[in-house]
Amino acid sequence: MKKVLVIGATGLIGSALINKLDDSRFSVLGTYMTHKKKGYEHLSISDRNSVFSLFDKIRPDIAILTAAFSYVDGCETNKELANRINIKGTRNVVDACGKYKTKLVFTSSYYVFDGSKRWYAEKDKQNPLNYYGITKMKGEELVKQLGYYLIVRLTNVFDFGLDEKNFVVRMVRSLRYGNEVKAPNDQYTNPITATNVAELVNKLLLDNKVGIYHVGGSEYINRYDFAVKVAKFLGLDYNLINSVDTKDLFQKAKRPSCGLKTEKIQKELNVKMLNVEGSLKLIKERIGMI
């Protein structure tokens, strides 16, 4: 059994990983920061001593770093905090992985790209438009200093029943209460569920893959059309969803509009990515949890 430490196990992707990592092959332990959970270890990745003490205690074979300051507009307005968590925190985990010979899996983002084209492959040039993207790019640079790493770049990730704050969960709640929501019609992504992300990370680990992999769904869709599709699928009133231009949202951080090409992972793992409807069918049973 390999020991796997999921850092940020109370978040959207961390929770899915806890559910999906193969427990016949991996013995999995999670960490939390503010959402205390029984059996999980407390960890602030910005606290270098705590990171090293936890690695010393657990001696993980694999660490999956999902912990981050992932509030994109927050990173723009509080760069100091973004640095402290996404850059210094990542450096602490990278250094601990180096010391304890731990393989590191780092969750990065399509925000490392500028969206000047529709689709990006793993080797494409990075050029982040906002500070969150800059911190993810710098995080990747730190991770690449390790010989033994996996960088998983993600697009727009959603799911039901795993966290409280992803866009789809917030939208479903608003529509149920008859409240209007706004969704930009000019921000395209290729959405994927956290469950599917976790299944793919599990496969990458079982196959001992290293390097960079893009992970996203098969459908290139803007956030408004995506929202309408989800609402229709769930029988909610999609007329409450307003189509807006990004500029009218007055977001603090600029957003790229682009998808992640997934040919590499599909070919190497012999898997097929799902479209939005296929993804929704697989997680529909958990709709009662939100």
Ligand X SMILES: NC(=O)c1ccc[n+]([C@@H]2O[C@H](COP(=O)([O-])OP(=O)(O)OC[C@H]3O[C@@H](n4cnc5c(N)ncnc54)[C@H](OP(=O)(O)O)[C@@H]3O)[C@@H](O)[C@H]2O)c1
Which positions touch ligand X (CB under 6 A)?
Answer: 8-14, 32-35, 43-46, 66-68, 70, 85, 89, 107, 109, 154, 156-157, 163
Smallest distance, ligand X to C-beta of residue 181, A: 17
Nearer to ligand X among residue 14 and residue 60 (C-beta): 14
To the nearest 10 degrees (0 to 180), the angle between helices 90-100 and 48-58 is 30
Closer to ligand X at the Cβ: 34 or 49?
A: 34
Q: CB of 65 within 8 A of CB of 93? A: yes
As measured in angstroms, the least distance from the Cβ of 269 to ligand X is 19
Q: Tokens 């229709």 map to which residue? A: 232
Q: How far apart are CA 209 and CA 8, in angstroms?
A: 22
User: To the nearest whole angstrom, how small is the minimum distance from the Cβ of residue 39 to ligand X?
Assistant: 13
201-230 burial, b if ≥16 CB within 10 A, otherwise e? bbbbbeeebeebbbbbbbbbbbbbbbbbbb
Query: Rg (Cα) of the chain, in Å, rounded?
Result: 18
Measured over all CA atoms, what is the biggest interatomic distance in the chain, rounded to whole angstroms?
A: 55
C-beta closer to ligand X: residue 85 or 231? 85
Task: Please say which residue, 165 or 284, places its beta carbon nearer to ligand X.
Answer: 165
Closest to ligand X by CB, 188 vs 239, is: 188
Shortest reach from residue 221's CB to ligand X, in Å: 14
Strands (E), 81-174: 103-109, 119-120, 149-154, 157-158
SS3 label, residue 46: coil
Residue placing its CB nearer to ligand X in the complex, 130 or 239: 130
Distance in Å, CB of 239 to ligand X, minimum: 26
Minimum CB separation of residue 72 from ligand X in Å reads 9
